[in-house]
Structure 1
Amino acid sequence: MYQRIRDLREDRDLLQKDVAAYLKCTQVCYSNYETGKRDIPTEVLIQLAHLYHTSTDYILGLTDDSAPPIPRKT
């Protein structure tokens, strides 16, 4: 999971400070997410999925399909 969020960030030519600003946290805090020194809260995981237009399952490594989830009809 940690390598995956780093790869997603780098694929979009974003810096850690850019993603940290999006998440409203410090660059050090975000760096700790990427290195696995700090667990990623659920809300942050959801925000990252939105930022990268992918699913939380992809970020968590539960699937290799990076396509965004299909919204459910209510």
Structure 2
Amino acid sequence: MIKFDERLKELRKEKGVTQREIAEFLGIKTRPYQNYESGDRRPDYEKLVALADYFDVTTDYLLGRTDRRG
């Protein structure tokens, strides 16, 4: 299965947005978001849910637990 960091980067590129734009949406600085995509950190529950909502996918999809988006 795909890992969270890979899936997050894939979704961001599909949507055509920058790391900075998503960081601003989450209310964090760009560096912590970059750490999510590099696999160095994981978001807390609230940010995970916000990311799933932003990309219109389930948290399970975002975490790589399923390949079904919805």
Instruction: Report the TM-score when normalising by structure 2.
Output: 0.92
Identity %: 34
Counterpart of 1:2?
5
| CA RMSD in angstroms, aligned pairs only | 0.7
Q: Which runs of 5+ in 2 are unaligned?
A: none
Alignment size in residue pairs: 67
For the pair shown, the structure with the greater C-alpha radius of gyration is: 1
Higher RCO (C-alpha 8 Å, min separation 6): 2
Q: Does 1:48 align with 2:36?
A: no
How far off its partner does 1:40 sit?
1.6
Counterpart of 1:15?
18
Instruction: Report the TM-score when normalising by structure 1.
Output: 0.87
